[in-house]
Amino acid sequence: MIALSACAAGGLLWVTNREPEPHGPHTAIDRTDAAAPRSIAGPPQFGNEPVPLPADFGGDYGRSARTISADEARAHFAIGAELLNLGDYYTAASHLAIARDGLGDQAAVCQMLAITYDRLNMASDLLDVMPCLEDAADESEAAARLYNRLAKQLDVEVEFQAAASDHFVASFPVSGTSSEEIGPVLDLLERARDRVRRDLGLGSMRLVPVVVYGHGQFEAATDKPHWVSGLYDGKIRMSIETYRNQPDFFETALTHEYVHALTHEYTGTRLPSWFREGLADGLARNGADRAIHYQPHPEVGRILGIDELNSSFMGLPEHLARAAYRQSHAMALGLVRESGWDALHDLILDLHDDRALSFDEAFYGLFGETPADYLDRWYTTTR
């Protein structure tokens, strides 16, 4: 069982991926250490409303001893899947674990449980579900990709501990990265959240998980191209090396990934790449300048077609990826120039309030034109 404990008396929340060792040096950071990261006072705050911890929090989480019918288990599975989709991982874990009790180790149940446990940093529970995921990997390519990704990350993150601030929970290596460094990283995250909230008027409502890797670990755990220095895949992943060597760039990259966490929480996967990346880049770089006099990236020398901006930029060669971020920034913030931040705030909030609404529908409802028409105008005036 993962050592995820809520101390009622002190109101502190410390999370570690390791088994608790009563007198071990690394099970938790010394709470009296002045240099230690800030801790949570009271239950974790998600937005303005304090969310009570589930009753079985820290116990044998979500597993039910009673026997349930297959129909009941399938109902729990459906609810768990929906909650996972909505990002309510705590409740999803509970329903999916009951579904697993009733249905056994079925591939779909194990895949969803693995994603949920990963997002919740519940490493021991994740390890428990990995053999089932490995079996599922033989049958499904999606399960195989998930298994390979999680196995690689577990390998790197097995000796990690965690600390939380008001809105973030950061995992970092027990050795090689000190709490003296994680405290400032958590401060940067809180500052990024404040800054984004000032422009966009929205802040993350749930505790955002962040993994800060030690030397060489980011590359080992993520397998991303060499030019990628941070990413968001349900967790923000960054390297402490970037913080040490390029602190300003680290803050920009951290803010970019935070915007992904925020928009994912509000809109799921409904934002097109040009808007998702453009908004993240624009908010992280603090300005709409490029939207006014957009010049193509010098190494590319041309404006990219929208078909080149329609999927993940990580699949592009480095120089094209840089151009893609820069151009998306100009496109997304062109909307701010025309309609102000309020319009982008409303767009994201509309997508949050109506989960069935598509990006195109929400966009048309607010701007009175389709995204395709807006982009046509953008291309016409920019060429």
Task: Give CA–CA dist 310/324, Å, rounded.
Answer: 10
Residue 120, CB-side half-sphere exposure with 13 Å CA sphere:
28
| Structure token digits, residue 47 | 């937005």
Q: How far is the CB of 228 from Zn ion (least distance, A)?
A: 9
Site string for Zn ion, 203-232 (x = CB under 5 A): ------------------------------
Q: How far is the CB of 351 from Zn ion (least distance, A)?
A: 18
Identity of the residue, 83 or 253, whose beta carbon is nearer to Zn ion in the bound complex: 253
Identity of the residue, 28 or 261, whose beta carbon is nearer to Zn ion in the bound complex: 261
Q: Considering only residues 76-115, where is the footprint of Zn ion by CB under 5 A? A: none
Task: Give CA–CA dist 131/147, Å, rounded.
Answer: 9
Q: How far is the CB of 187 from Zn ion (least distance, A)?
A: 22
Q: Is there a contact between 164 and 151 (Cβ–Cβ < 8 Å)?
A: no
Q: How far is the CB of 52 from Zn ion (least distance, A)?
A: 33
Site string for Zn ion, 230-259 (x = CB under 5 A): ------------------------------
Q: How far is the CB of 309 from Zn ion (least distance, A)?
A: 12
Alpha carbon distances (Å) from 55 to 60, 90, 148, 160, 264: 11, 11, 33, 26, 27
Q: Considering only residues 258-277, where is the footprint of Zn ion by CB under 5 A? A: 277
Work out the end-to-end distance of the chain between its first and last CA atoms, rounded to an integer number of angstroms: 58
Q: How far is the CB of 256 from Zn ion (least distance, A)?
A: 6
Identity of the residue, 280 or 335, whose beta carbon is nearer to Zn ion in the bound complex: 280
Residue 6 burial class via C-beta count within 10 angstroms: exposed 0-12, middle 13-18, buried 19 and up: middle
Identity of the residue, 110 or 231, whose beta carbon is nearer to Zn ion in the bound complex: 231
Q: How far is the CB of 133 from Zn ion (least distance, A)?
A: 27
Helix (H) / strand (E) element for 173: namely strand 168-173
Identity of the residue, 36 or 280, whose beta carbon is nearer to Zn ion in the bound complex: 280
Task: Give CA–CA dist 242/252, Å, rounded.
Answer: 11
Q: With H, G, I as helix, E, B as strand and everything else as coil, classify residue 34.
A: coil
Identity of the residue, 95 or 297, whose beta carbon is nearer to Zn ion in the bound complex: 297
Residue 331 burial class via C-beta count within 10 angstroms: exposed 0-12, middle 13-18, buried 19 and up: buried
CA-only gyration radius of the chain, Å: 22
Residue 48, CB-side half-sphere exposure with 13 Å CA sphere:
1
Task: Calculate the dihedral angle through the C-alpha atoms of 258, 262, 265, 271, rounding to the nearest 10 degrees.
Answer: -100
How many residues contact Zn ion, by CB under 5 A? 2
Q: How far is the CB of 270 from Zn ion (least distance, A)?
A: 16
Q: Which residues pair with 213 in a beta bridge?
A: 239
Q: How far is the CB of 343 from Zn ion (least distance, A)?
A: 21
Identity of the residue, 177 or 255, whose beta carbon is nearer to Zn ion in the bound complex: 255
Q: Considering only residues 272-311, where is the footprint of Zn ion by CB under 5 A? A: 277, 280
Identity of the residue, 251 or 277, whose beta carbon is nearer to Zn ion in the bound complex: 277
Identity of the residue, 168 or 325, whose beta carbon is nearer to Zn ion in the bound complex: 325
Task: Give CA–CA dist 87/249, Å, rounded.
Answer: 29
Binding site for Zn ion (CB under 5 A): 277, 280
